[in-house]
Structures are given as C-alpha cells and as structure tokens.
Amino acid sequence: MTRTSFNTKVVHHKTAQEQIQNSKSTPIYQTSAFTFKDLDHMESYYEGKSPYLYTREKNPNTDELGMTVANLEEAEAGVATSSGMSAILAGILAVAKAGDHIVAAEDLYGGTHKLITKELQTFGIEVSMVSFSDLEKVKSDIKSNTKLLYTESITNPFLRVENLAELVDVAKKSGVKTMVDNTFATPYLLQPYTKGIDLVVHSGTKYIGGHSDVTCGVLVGEEELIQKATEKVVALGSNLSPFEAWLTQRGAKTLGLRMKQQSDNANQLAEALRDNPSVKRVYYPEYISEQGHGAIVTIELDHQVDIEQFFRSLGWIKIAPTLAGVETTVSYPVRTSHRALSEKEREKIGINDYVIRLSIGIEDAEDIIAQFEQCINQSIK
C-alpha cells in the first residue's frame, strides 16, 4: 500500500527493526548495552552486520525517531540527540572545524545565538551574525573559509519567514552548506530539505514531542552529513535516552492533528489581536503553506499596558520559558529566550519590554481569544 499523506506517514512509520513479538507499539529498549552470544557475534557489530552494541552509540528507539523525522522531512537520514541545542551543535560540527567560518542569521533564538557567538569560538570556528533579510549582505560575508549558512525557517520570536529558495541559490553559488532550524514550522508545514537545504534541525522538545514532557533534538539531511553528525553525537555523549525517544515518537504520531488545530487557533487569535487598540503590533506569518501558518503569535503591547499586571492576569494561560505544548502558554523573550543577549543586541533585532511570544494550544479558539482580550483589558494603566 502506498502511503503518501502526512498523517498516514507519521502513524505508519518505519520501525528500527522487526519486532519478534509483533508488538503494536515499539517496545522501549531501556538498556545501556546489548549482549552477544560469543566473540564472533560481538565482532559482527564492528563489521556492520549487527546493529546494536551500546546505547550511547545506537539504540532502536533513537534510531526510530531519527528515521521518522527524516521520513517526514523527506530527507535521507536522521539522528536523535539529547536536546535541540545538541542537535544544532552536531550539525555545525559535521560541516565546520577549527579555522572554518560560518554565517548565521542575527535574529535567531537566544540560546542558539549564544551557542554560535560564544561557544563556537572555543572550537576555533569563526562566526558572522548578519541580517538574512538582505541576502546581498549574506553574500558579502561569505569568505574562502566559509562552510555553512545557518538560519531558522521561521525565526524566534518575530516569525520572519526565510526565503529558502534564494538562500539555497546563494549557498550553491558559493559552494557552502546550509542548515535550517525548522522547529516552528515542523515538517507538517515545511520541508526545507526538499527545497535544497542540506541539514534540517528540530528541537523535538517542541512540536515533534508536543506534550512538554521530553527534551530532545533531531537532525536530518544528507546521509553523509548525518553520519558525520552522528559521530559527533557519540563522541560528545549527546545521545538521547531510549525512554525520551519513545515518548517523542509517541507524540509525533499526532503532530499533524495538533499543528492543524494550533495553527488554526493562532491564525484566529492573530486576527483578533490586530483589532485590539492596546496591541501595538502583531507578528504572524502571512503565508507558510496550504496546511497553515504556524502556531506562534508574537505581539508588542502598547505602552499603556502594565506588563507586570499582564502576566498576573493570564488566568488559565500559563507562563513558560518554552513553547509548543498542547496548552496555550506565553513567554517573555527579554527575561527568558533572549536574556543572554545584551540590551544592544536585543534592540538591534527589536526585542523590548513589551514584546511577548504566545504559543497557541489546542483549546477552543474563542476561549483563547476571550482570555487574552480579558487579560489585556485588565492590564491597561
């Protein structure tokens, strides 16, 4: 039977190995190592004839998760890691080494910004942070030792949609690789690999897992690059545990259903907040795909709104430093996701005390809208 639609693919995924007991759900291989009947059997692992030796190197649950996301992104291969950040690092190190240079978008998630601008220096990798809104600027920053262009398909928190086709064109003409964080869009809305991007990374903690109960990352892309990234994951000990992989895999089965509801809700909320006089600006993509435009809405409140009171008036909406669970939450970039940036760096990309990121859940849209409108009204000075 041919399985081509997203929801069918994500439910009827390829398993890492045949299940002897015909289990409907893949078992959790909660083991640190695998045993062998004799030395020849053990040697077969090193000859590539036996798949598993030690869970830090390989495990059926982590393999299955990597394969599932790669399949949804229509990529050649994938590897699951301990977090989105470790997946990003593995991807970068698969391409760049000491003495190399990468060009990254300046309006990235704060944690990624810190990793790239500060930690990569300890690896001897040079970095240029530039505006990817101007690809001529990106071109001008590419040097003879540039190996990678790094950005997000939908940026955090202002939801700028990257022009992937033009980015790929710039990269190919310059002979460099591309890597895109597709966490906000998920493969339900976008598949950057199909547009020519070499590596695609996800914080599986967010929409892939979807239930705020795991921390993981997934990197997919060209098989050769994923092999190199996997070597980094093994060497650095940033593998994902079998149980976390199993939970993420379970959550991934409803990714399409969740993203449809959450994106529809976000679209309705964005429209409602544009009409609210106490909302200075609403950031929400005009177009991502036929399936929707994403489940994040970022707003800048008018200065007549008391920010402290706003966060006290949220009611059933939770304050959280993350996003993408089934429940609606809000985060405050100045004090959470972009806290590590200097005030000058935040100002450059537009983050101020009145910017709030809204992660929209699966609740009924009218309830979400009513709660935010009530919250704003109660917060006017």
**Confidence check: pLDDT of 327 > 60:** yes
DSSP string, 182-211: -TTTHHHH--GGGGT-SEEEEETTTTTT-S
Confidence band, pLDDT 50/70/90 cuts, at residue 18: low
DSSP 307: H
CA distance 270 to 274: 6
| pLDDT of amino acid 118 | 93
Query: Do the Cβ atoms of 325 and 251 come closer than 8 Å?
Result: no
**Confidence check: pLDDT of 84 > 90:** yes
Class of domain 255-378: alpha beta
CA distance 75 to 223: 8
| pLDDT of amino acid 348 | 86
Mean pLDDT of 141-169: 97
| pLDDT of amino acid 92 | 98
| pLDDT of amino acid 19 | 54
Q: According to CATH, what is the number of the domain 27-252?
A: 3.40.640.10
Asked which of 237-246, 262-271, 335-344 is least confident by mean pLDDT, the reply is 335-344
Mean pLDDT of 85-101: 98
Amino acid at position 18, single letter: E
Tell me what the pLDDT averaged over the chain comes to: 94
| pLDDT of amino acid 165 | 96
| pLDDT of amino acid 346 | 87
| 27-252 shares its CATH topology with 255-378 | no
**Taking Cα atoms as reference points, which of 236, 192, 292, 194 lies closest to residue 86?**
236
Q: SS3 breakdown of the chain: % helix, strand, coil, rounded to 5? A: 40, 20, 45
The token pair that represents 227 in the structure block: 């092999």
**Confidence check: pLDDT of 319 > 80:** yes
Mean pLDDT of 293-312: 97
Look up the pTM and report it: 0.94
| pLDDT of amino acid 9 | 85
| pLDDT of amino acid 15 | 63
**Taking Cα atoms as reference points, which of 353, 334, 331 lies closest to residue 342?**
334
**Taking Cα atoms as reference points, which of 275, 265, 299 lies closest to residue 158?**
299
Per-residue pLDDT tens over the stretch 29-43:
999 999 999 999 999
Half-sphere exposure for 129 (CA within 13 Å, toward CB): 17
| pLDDT of amino acid 16 | 57
Q: For Cα atoms 331, 158, 291, give the angle at the middle one, nearest 5 degrees.
A: 95
Instruction: Show the DSSP H helices in 253-341 as ranges.
Output: 255-274, 307-312
Half-sphere exposure for 360 (CA within 13 Å, toward CB): 29
Confidence band, pLDDT 50/70/90 cuts, at residue 183: very high
| pLDDT of amino acid 20 | 55
| pLDDT of amino acid 227 | 98
| pLDDT of amino acid 344 | 87
**Taking Cα atoms as reference points, which of 144, 70, 160, 154 lies closest to residue 101?**
144
Confidence band, pLDDT 50/70/90 cuts, at residue 3: low
CA distance 9 to 250: 13
Percentage with pLDDT > 90 across the chain? 87
**Residue indicated by tokens 């939908």:** 154
**Confidence check: pLDDT of 21 > 70:** no
| pLDDT of amino acid 260 | 98
**Taking Cα atoms as reference points, which of 183, 223, 185 lies closest to residue 84?**
183
CA distance 224 to 44: 22
The token pair that represents 26 in the structure block: 């893949």
| pLDDT of amino acid 337 | 81
Confidence band, pLDDT 50/70/90 cuts, at residue 150: very high
The token pair that represents 283 in the structure block: 């950031």
**Taking Cα atoms as reference points, which of 216, 254, 247 lies closest to residue 72?**
254
**Confidence check: pLDDT of 17 > 60:** no
Beta carbons within 10 angstroms of residue 241's beta carbon: 20
Q: Where are the domains of the chain?
A: 27-252, 255-378
Per-residue pLDDT tens over the stretch 249-288:
999 999 999 999 999 999 999 999 999 999 999 999 999 9
In whole angstroms, how far apart are CA 178 and each of 254, 281, 337? 29, 31, 24
